[in-house]
Amino acid sequence: MDVLEATALVDLANSYSLDLGPPKRISVPNASKLTALRDVTFNGTLLHKQFAQLDPASSQRTYTQGSYQVSSDGDLHFCLGTADGQPHIACELQNASAFVQTFTAAIGETISVSGFFRCLFEHPGFRSNDDTHIFEVHPVRAVALGGGAIQAFGVDKPDPASIHSWAAPHNLSDQDNRIQVTYDQTSDVLTFTGMDGMDENYVQVSGTISAISDNPAAPSPATFTFSSADIGRNIEVFALEGTNAIGQLRQLGPAEVTMVGLRNIDLQAALDDRYVITMLAIDLQPASAPRQ
């Protein structure tokens, strides 16, 4: 597992720029340094909740301070960085209503966060109400506050209202097929074009698990191939050690399932000029099990 300090990470994650187009464009410098980050641990300071806005014309970011509270899907969005009013990494802790007071009381303390480092164009900054970022630690699966003991968190399904299908409210295959990416190896910059400026976070799809690669002693997450008629192609899926999904995967093996997962942009494929979506498994249920 990679361990990074916030001083290095915030610059990498917040150096991208936007062009309103048309077509819309997102440029990500230092791309090769971001591709290997998946199951990671970051050390820094727990900041006040702050909302980021990005001016596409100047690439300047501004920050407005808020307060910690759970979002509509039950997640707590907290900020890891070096100082208030400066760039941060967005982190999402699931089912977190019981922890809001704990995090509020720990503002300004050191924090260590373990979880899945994820890239998605859900709220990159094209809209005025975006809390601007394309990189985040989501889901968070362990936290240590103020140098204290590590607190592990279960990674489970979010509120049902926040789980979408592959086809609604947007057809994600159509959206993914419109997005293109090119990589300039000399400048180490990825340039994405054609995105809508929104994306779906949690999705539920039915399909088949195959080609499982699972070594509990390895530093990288387990993977499997997921085939679904809803998606129309095979997709690579990750399962993090210490989560409910990895236990379900080991129990089910190759099987027909209904999966709740998080969409993620494959930055390694982007280096080969390919826009590819992978997923992180959150919940795996046998296909015969009733949907909840």
Residue 79, H or E segment: strand 76-81
**How far apart (Å, rounded) are the C-alpha atoms in residues 219 and 242?**
12
For position 119, what pLDDT does the model report?
A: 96
**Contact yes or no for 204/263 (Cβ under 8 A):** no
pLDDT in tens, 155-191: 888 888 889 999 988 899 999 999 999 999 999 999 9
**How far apart (Å, rounded) are the C-alpha atoms in residues 72 and 67?**
15
For position 216, what pLDDT does the model report?
A: 87
> Is the pLDDT assigned to residue 247 strictly greater than 50?
yes
**How far apart (Å, rounded) are the C-alpha atoms in residues 6 and 104?**
19
Which domains does the chain carry? Answer: 2-152 (2.40.50.140)
Work out the average pLDDT over 212-231.
92
pLDDT in tens, 54-93: 998 888 999 999 999 998 778 899 999 999 999 999 999 9
For position 161, what pLDDT does the model report?
A: 84
Residue 177, H or E segment: helix 172-178
For position 292, what pLDDT does the model report?
A: 47
pLDDT in tens, 106-119: 999 999 999 999 99
